Amino acid sequence: MIVDVANERRFREFVASRSPALMRLGYLLTGGDQHAAEDLLQTVLIRTAARWTRIDDPEPYVRRAMYRQQVSWWRLAARRRETVVPEAPDIPARDDMNAAELKLVLRHALARLTARQRAALVLRFFADLPEGEVAQVMGCSVGTVRSTVHRSLARLRVLAPELAELDAPRRPPFKEVTS
């Protein structure tokens, strides 16, 4: 653990300032499971505290550790005989969906992706990391990140066609008349 008072203060400041963002990352990496996200972040922060004096840049270190810890949990879960299948969301007819409904649809669609696909999308678009950093975190090449993101987005379009509205350019509510 951290022995030096100054290092302990820096660690506490890091945790206080970055926990909300890291919690959101954990939430997305765990497929929208709040309790699993809390466990993930707590586990990684405990391990980070033990190595704090040897860490130069804590933010990427913690993100990478969160991804790797989640991968190890996915691997353990894959060996269990129990299969978790999310229920299909109740999706209304093509009405104007409010933001809460859209978030639920996205969450359910993300949960149906593979762990690697979900992680690639979360790191690339939610954490807004460039492809090179995503490749470092995931331990693969930039080309693998690109193809994984491409396939993941295609799969999302199949799982949740309602999300296509987000891709479509905004059209004016009326037809313009030119003379």
**Boundary-marking domain end, from 31, 55, 80:** 80
Residues 76 and 107 in one domain: no
Question: Residue 88: inside a domain, yes or no?
Answer: no
Question: Residue 177: inside a domain, yes or no?
Answer: no
Q: Is the pTM of this model over 0.85?
A: no
Tell me what pLDDT residue 104 has.
81
Mean pLDDT of the chain: 82
Tell me what pLDDT residue 2 has.
55
Phi, psi of 110 (to 5 degrees): -60, -40
Other CB atoms within 10 Å distance of the CB of residue 59: 12
**Boundary-marking domain end, from 57, 80, 103:** 80
- The first and second tokens of residue 42, run together, are 């707590």
Tell me what pLDDT residue 106 has.
81
Which residues make Cβ contacts (< 8 Å) with residue 146, sequence separation at least 6?
A: 131
Residues 73 and 103 in one domain: no
User: Is the pLDDT score of 88 beyond 90?
Assistant: no
Question: Residue 175: inside a domain, yes or no?
Answer: no
Question: Residue 13: inside a domain, yes or no?
Answer: yes
Residues 1 and 76 in one domain: yes
Count: domains in the chain: 2
Residues 75 and 3 in one domain: yes
User: pLDDT tens-digit profile of 105-114?
Assistant: 888 888 889 9
Other CB atoms within 10 Å distance of the CB of residue 83: 6
Question: Residue 173: inside a domain, yes or no?
Answer: no
Q: CA–CA separation, 17 vs 115, rounded Å?
A: 27
Residues 113 and 156 in one domain: yes
Find the Cα–Cα–Cα–Cα dihedral 163, 169, 175, 179, rounded to 10°: -170
Residues 67 and 29 in one domain: yes
- For residues 19 and 26, is the Cβ–Cβ distance under 8 A? no
pLDDT category, 77, cuts 50, 70, 90? low
Residues spanned by the domain of 129:
93-168
Residues 15 and 36 in one domain: yes
Q: CA–CA separation, 117 vs 175, rounded Å?
A: 40
Domain harbouring 159, CATH code? 1.10.10.10
Q: CA–CA separation, 32 vs 91, rounded Å?
A: 18
User: pLDDT tens-digit profile of 125-153?
Assistant: 888 899 999 999 899 999 999 999 999 99
- The first and second tokens of residue 150, run together, are 């491409």
Tell me what pLDDT residue 174 has.
45
